[in-house]
Structure 1
Amino acid sequence: MIIREWRGRASPSNTDAYPAHFRSHVVPELQALPGFIGAHLSRRALGDRTEFVVLTRWRDMDAIRAFAGDTPDKAVVEPGAVAALIEFDDFVEHYEVVEET
């Protein structure tokens, strides 16, 4: 299993917009993809903004490439996410799960 990590940041006055977008658009689209296993959305206060961390779980890198294209390390950021955030990572990190309990 592979974990894909992405981060975005929102202004304090707009902390609910990205979670709403995630629930209504991102999750349904991901659930329709072969090889998608699940996702976590977390947030924390980070100075004058709120940082969101999205961890998605995938069967393998082939499933991620089917989702992200030929450059799997490039972030896939929809217009709704761009509108909800003041900044976000252009690239993601991938981690191979070694052990899960």
Structure 2
Amino acid sequence: MIARIWRASATADNAARYREHFTSAVLPELRTVDGFLDAVLLERDRGTDVEIQVITRWSSLDVIGSFAGADVTAANVAPDAVAVLTEFDSTVTHHTVTAESN
């Protein structure tokens, strides 16, 4: 299993807008991809802004390629998301899940 991790930040108001984008647009799209397992949206209040972290889990790196394209390290950030974020990573990291609790 592979965890794909991406980071961004937004103002408090726009973090709520990103959360809506994530639940109404990103998750439905991800659920159509065979091999997508689950996703978590994390937020951390930093006083002046909100740090956002998205962790998706996939059955394999090959499956991620079917979603992300040839460069699996490139972040897929939709224009609607770009519009509400103050900054975001243009790349993602991938980690092999070696243990988990059930």
TM > 0.5 fold call: yes
Q: Which residue of 1 aligns with 2:97?
A: 97
RMSD: 0.9
Deviation of the 1:47 alpha carbon: 4.3
Q: Which residue of 2 aligns with 1:38?
A: 38
Runs of 4+ in 1 over 3 A off after TM superposition: none
Q: Which residue of 1 aligns with 2:82?
A: 82
Q: Which residue of 1 aligns with 2:5?
A: 5
Q: TM-score, normalised by structure 1?
A: 0.95
Aligned equivalents of 1:81 and 1:43: distance in 2?
Answer: 15
* Residue type at the aligned position of 1:75: A
Aligned equivalents of 2:12 and 2:36: distance in 1?
Answer: 31
Unaligned runs of 5+ residues in structure 1 are none
Q: Which residue of 1 aligns with 2:49?
A: 49
Aligned pairs, number? 101
- Percentage of pairs with the same residue: 45
Unaligned runs of 5+ residues in structure 2 are none
Q: TM-score, normalised by structure 2?
A: 0.94
